[in-house]
Amino acid sequence: MNVFLIGANGQVGRHIVQLLSESSEHNVRAMVRNEEQAIHLKQSGVDAVVASLEGSVAELAAAMNGSDAVIFTAGSGGKTGFDKTLLVDLDGAVKSMEAADKVGANRYIMVSALQAQNRESWKNSPIKPYMVAKHYADRMLLASVLNYTIVKPGLLTNDPGNGKVQAGETLSGGAIPREDVAKTVVATLNEENTYRRSFDLLSGDMDVHEALKNL
């Protein structure tokens, strides 16, 4: 597949770029926010494009034209206000879905958050606005015509990944290395058992591919 990666300069995104760049099955076009990031990726041999989730649907569609699949792993980050959470994590995500539909990139993978569908699980969370944004972005994706997969990881760490995870619809508590989230996201591209599915993801004792086949 020709994969359009939104959030390529993020911590999970950088792992995905590496995996897709090494893949014999997929090609990657990395979307970043500024020219400096794009130049750095291009110097590494990665096809990169500058675009903004706060731009128009038409601008996003132009950037992802020719893609078969979209991976959304962007985020406004913890250093911005909740206005950016609304504009990037919610509205930006929805605009990317509309752009994907517009250009025929039917396969769409969303990196969400553990139990984002369950309001009770985050009603007292210090990042509640972020969880609200994820909740409603996911709902928009669920209602779309896109062939979606929603991956909802727990607490993200920078520990080295070992490719061992647990995946399910009602997991709670726990963490997972960003590297293993990236491995799982890339594995979902062709894994039919994840098509039009949503699942939580934590560190575990099952190989990524095995865990996805056993959802």
Known catalytic residues? 130
**Cα–Cα distance for residue pair 22/19, rounded to 1 Å:** 5
Q: What is the DSSP code string of 26-48?
A: -EEEEEESSHHHHHHHHHTT-EE
Helix (H) or strand (E) segment spanning residue 135 = helix 128-142
Question: Token pair for residue 15?
Answer: 């792992």
Question: Token pair for residue 201?
Answer: 């993801």
Neighbours of 121 (CB within 10 A): 16
Nearest to 72 by CA among 143, 139, 148, 131: 148
Q: Are 151 and 112 in contact (CB under 8 A)?
A: yes
Neighbours of 207 (CB within 10 A): 15
